[in-house]
Amino acid sequence: MTTGHVFVLRADLLNLNADAWLLPTDRWVEIEPGWMSRDAGLHRRADDAAPDDFRRGDTLAFAVPTLQVGEPIPIATAVPSDNHWGPEQVRERVRAFAQAALEALPEASSRRSLRLLALPFLGSAGGSAEDLTAQMRALLEASREVAREKAVDVAVVVRDPAAYTLAQALRRDHPGEWWEELDAGIRAQAEELGRKAGLGRIVPFLGAGVSMSAGAPSWAELLADLAVPLNLSADELKELRSLNPLDQASLLETLYAERGVTTDYRSSIAERVEVPRYGLAPALLASLPSEGAITLNYDGLFEKACDDAGEPRFVIPNESGEGRWLLKLHGDAKKPKTIVLTRDDYLGFNANREALSSLVKAHLMTHHLLFVGFGLADDHFHEIVHAVHRALPEGGKRELGTAIMVAADGLHAKAWEGRLAMVRMTPDPVAKADFGVAARRLEIFLDAMMAHATQEHTYLLAEKYGESLAAHDRELREDLLTLVAKHGGSDSPAWAVVKTALEGLGLPARILEQPLVPVR
């Protein structure tokens, strides 16, 4: 029997495409305003739906009706009446949430092979929790129990960087327990890529598969959707599908003009690829410590995920700025005229976007690219990789990146031998692969990779994170706080360097400025 997995994300719970999500409330169905930012009527519907046994405190969770079919279902879950979050209180709430979610979800599943339930860091927003390390450990363990028993995936979603790095550290200490779905060889590859990412050497290159878990269409689905307004006959549809996808796109654009379709062709593409919530893959990759990222996708899901992870990126070529960037190599849905889809678009690509191609080539030369979510069949990509490999000195040719493939394809791998490393989520050929299961395994691979990419330790000196740290971390924390008490506010130029390091470990600025005694 397949068991569920626990993912850790630095994201916005309301923007994640989960099947259900935990809405914190109390027996009087009070809801904090932040949970209603996307849905002003949420409180009214929750109040109307609350059963009497919930108001009496006999049950802990119930489902709130959604505005539209297919939206993530809010599961109102009661916080402890005394706001005390011990391990048993956390466990009870997580179990009640999962049970209510599964009872409310319809038979039909999402695109994922297992349901995805999402919950926040319970008890971290106010309350009486004095030890957030113990709180996080209890939440992770309760989520893992539910994932195993109910055969669901659970996403623990946090916004605070200290909570995120702590969760990753707690899991990283026991990789065989937290990523048991991956065999040892695949897990070792995830760890190696994570270590490279932690050093800033990985640049993600994202294909359509990264957006599909959120409901964005595949290439074939997009073309099929675009054909609908044309009311093509069965014979015309059959002939259309026999063409190369680039030629399908070109023909559809021509037919839109000839048959007077009122909707602009490029605007129709933009409308179909923009979906309101991102899936796990963009949310996981958004926290990747990389200066640059490249995508062939038109949608804005990765940008939204990066914003929610506290790592915003400016989009090239539409924007300019400093810091992290995202190159949208095939155009942006926000500017439909930039979309590259037809054969004419591809043939004109070099003439119009040579500078963009050069940016990709430079990163291929100096970084390790991580290809996620596509089958490496893009003609323009082939051209870029060939040009870079040809430019490398003889004898110095190397693998330019790693492609994480949903399924095995021996001939495809052979074609890229010596240029790309392949990590396959299933040993079976493509024709036999269960893509839902393999795609989920890819998400688990990314989760393991991100845990090992997280090199920061912002929880170490953060308030409320000290009591339940591992012994070696607790001892280091005490020594560092003693150092702050002795030297804080020093005029030495060297103290500025030490201060920066302490801030990176989570020490609040007010303690740095006016230290008195170590804060535990």
**Across 315-343, average pLDDT:** 87
The residues pairing with 75 across neighbouring beta strands, listed in sequence order, are: 22, 63
Phi, psi of 282, rounded to the nearest 5 degrees: -60, -40
- pLDDT more than 70, % of the chain: 89
Q: How far apart are CA 118 and CA 146, in angstroms?
A: 12
Last residue of a domain, one of 426, 453, 480: 453
Q: What is the pLDDT of residue 430?
A: 52
Query: What is the chain's mean pLDDT, rounded?
Result: 85
**Across 29-48, average pLDDT:** 93
User: Does residue 95 carry a pLDDT above 90?
Assistant: yes
In a domain, 181, yes or no: no
In a domain, 438, yes or no: yes
The pTM for the full model equals 0.89
Q: Please list, in sequence order, all residues whose beta carbon lies within 8 angstroms of the beta carbon of residue 41, skipping any fewer than 6 positions away.
A: 67
Query: Are 401 and 303 in the same domain?
Result: yes
State which H helix or E strand residue 116 sits in. strand 116-120
Query: Are 228 and 353 in the same domain?
Result: no
Last residue of a domain, one of 256, 273, 290: 273
> Of the candidates 454, 419, 511, 443, which has an alpha carbon nearest to the alpha carbon of residue 168?
454
Q: b or e along 494-503 (b: 16 or more beta carbons within 10 Å of the residue's beta carbon)?
A: eeeebbeebe
CATH number for the domain including 132? Answer: 3.40.220.10
Query: Are 77 and 136 in the same domain?
Result: yes
User: Does residue 283 carry a pLDDT above 90?
Assistant: yes
**Across 380-403, average pLDDT:** 74
> Of the candidates 452, 477, 479, which has an alpha carbon nearest to the alpha carbon of residue 463?
477
User: Does residue 438 carry a pLDDT above 90?
Assistant: no
CB 177, CB 138: distance < 8 Å: no
Query: Nearest 10 degrees: CA dihedral of 495, 496, 502, 506?
Result: 150
Other C-beta atoms within 10 Å of 349: how many?
Answer: 18
Q: What is the pLDDT of residue 429?
A: 61
**Across 179-203, average pLDDT:** 92
Last residue of a domain, one of 159, 186, 205: 159
- In total, how many domains does the chain have? 4
CB 156, CB 143: distance < 8 Å: yes
Q: What is the pLDDT of residue 517?
A: 45
pLDDT in tens, 343-372: 888 776 655 566 677 777 777 788 888 999
Range of the domain at 503: 471-513
Q: What is the pLDDT of residue 505?
A: 78
Q: What is the pLDDT of residue 48?
A: 96
User: Does residue 250 carry a pLDDT above 50?
Assistant: yes
**Across 480-498, average pLDDT:** 77
Q: How far apart are CA 10 and CA 96, in angstroms?
A: 24
In a domain, 191, yes or no: no
In a domain, 336, yes or no: yes
User: Does residue 57 carry a pLDDT above 50?
Assistant: yes
Q: Please list, in sequence order, all residues whose beta carbon lies within 8 angstroms of the beta carbon of residue 395, skipping any fewer than 6 positions away.
A: none
In a domain, 166, yes or no: no
Q: How far apart are CA 212 and CA 233, in angstroms?
A: 28
In a domain, 312, yes or no: yes
User: Does residue 212 carry a pLDDT above 90?
Assistant: no
Q: How far apart are CA 20 and CA 246, in angstroms?
A: 38
In a domain, 464, yes or no: no
Query: Are 307 and 343 in the same domain?
Result: yes
Q: Check residue 229 and report its DSSP letter.
A: G
* Greater model confidence, 514 or 137: 137
Least confident range of 136-145, 316-325, 503-512: 503-512
3-state secondary structure of 295: strand
Query: Are 480 and 412 in the same domain?
Result: no
Query: Are 359 and 412 in the same domain?
Result: yes
- Cα three-residue angle 138-21-286, rounded to 5 degrees: 80
Q: What is the pLDDT of residue 395?
A: 59
Query: Are 267 and 332 in the same domain?
Result: no
Query: Are 207 and 355 in the same domain?
Result: yes
In a domain, 175, yes or no: no
Q: Is the peptide bond before 429 cis (omega within 30 degrees of 0)?
A: no
Q: How far apart are CA 420 and CA 371, in angstroms?
A: 9
Q: How far apart are CA 453 and CA 450, in angstroms?
A: 5
Phi, psi of 278, rounded to the nearest 5 degrees: -90, 160
Query: Are 426 and 308 in the same domain?
Result: yes
Query: Are 438 and 292 in the same domain?
Result: yes
Query: Are 124 and 209 in the same domain?
Result: no
Q: What is the pLDDT of residue 130?
A: 61
Other C-beta atoms within 10 Å of 154: how many?
Answer: 30
Query: Are 487 and 389 in the same domain?
Result: no
> Of the candidates 179, 183, 147, 113, which has an alpha carbon nearest to the alpha carbon of residue 425?
183
User: Does residue 139 carry a pLDDT above 50?
Assistant: yes
User: Does residue 441 carry a pLDDT above 50?
Assistant: yes
- pLDDT more than 90, % of the chain: 48
The CA–CA distances, whole Å, from 391 to 125, 207, 369, 395 equal 54, 25, 17, 12
User: Does residue 477 carry a pLDDT above 90?
Assistant: no
CATH number for the domain including 355? Answer: 3.40.50.1220
